[in-house]
Amino acid sequence: MNDRNGRLACGTQVGVLADQVAEHAAPIDPRHQADCPHCRAALGELEQLWGDVRELAREEVAIPGGLVTAVLRRVRREREEHAGPSLPLEQVVPRLVRHALLRGSRGHTQIADSVIAKLIRHTVLATPGVGSLARGSEGLSVSVEQDEVGVRIGLVVDLSVAIPPLVQALRVRVEREIEGIAGLRLSTFDVSVIDVSET
């Protein structure tokens, strides 16, 4: 049974288990999950739910005849009625996805902010003493500007961990990953500890 904060009776956040099931990820604390009846029950329910979702996703959906044509006709009509300045795709996409930019003598490399965020997420969750990230944008926010990366993290930490050394270790690890793997520079690194985990 989970409380109003989305935690099981053992203190584990349900969101962390849901992410684990959805992403086929390894458990953060395998020993705890192996012995905890609350986690095992929640994982069983989540596996069943995700199994149903995956089953539905595999089903082939028959598109009614003429639907695509009707939709395109409607889109064209809407576009004509609300005609405004149109933007080329190469101007629209950068507004949706931000990229870090590495310039080289023989060309340049763009790295999407989502790739950088995934790298940071993996690094943070693999750090001893980190229970989980907060949900949504409160958990991890990445901003990129050329070859610089700004990071904001919301953490749930283990109750027994000293927070300042943990944050320092996180900064070192994240900086090493960003510079070593992506070739970027960590410009800012802000951490908010939003909760503690007793597991």
Check which CATH number belongs to the domain holding 157 and give it.
Answer: 3.30.70.1350
DSSP string, the chain: ---TTSB-TTS-BHHHHHHHHHTTPPPSSHHHHHH-HHHHHHHHHHHHHHHHHHHHHHS--PPPTTHHHHHHHHHHHHHHHT------HHHHHHHHS-EEEEEETTEEEEEEHHHHHHHHHHHHHTSTTEEEEPSGGGTEEEEEETTEEEEEEEEEEETTS-HHHHHHHHHHHHHHHIIIII--EEEEEEEEEEEEE--
Domain span including residue 74: 1-86
Domain boundary among 41, 65, 86: 86
The count of domains in the chain is: 2
46 and 117 together in one domain: no
pTM of the model: 0.50
- Residue 104 or residue 77, greater confidence: 77
Domain boundary among 70, 86, 102: 86
Above 90 in pLDDT, residue 169?
Answer: yes
Domain boundary among 28, 58, 86: 86
62 and 141 together in one domain: no
Report, as an integer, the average pLDDT of 129-157: 88
Report, as an integer, the average pLDDT of 67-91: 70
111 and 185 together in one domain: yes
3 and 43 together in one domain: yes
pLDDT of residue 92: 44
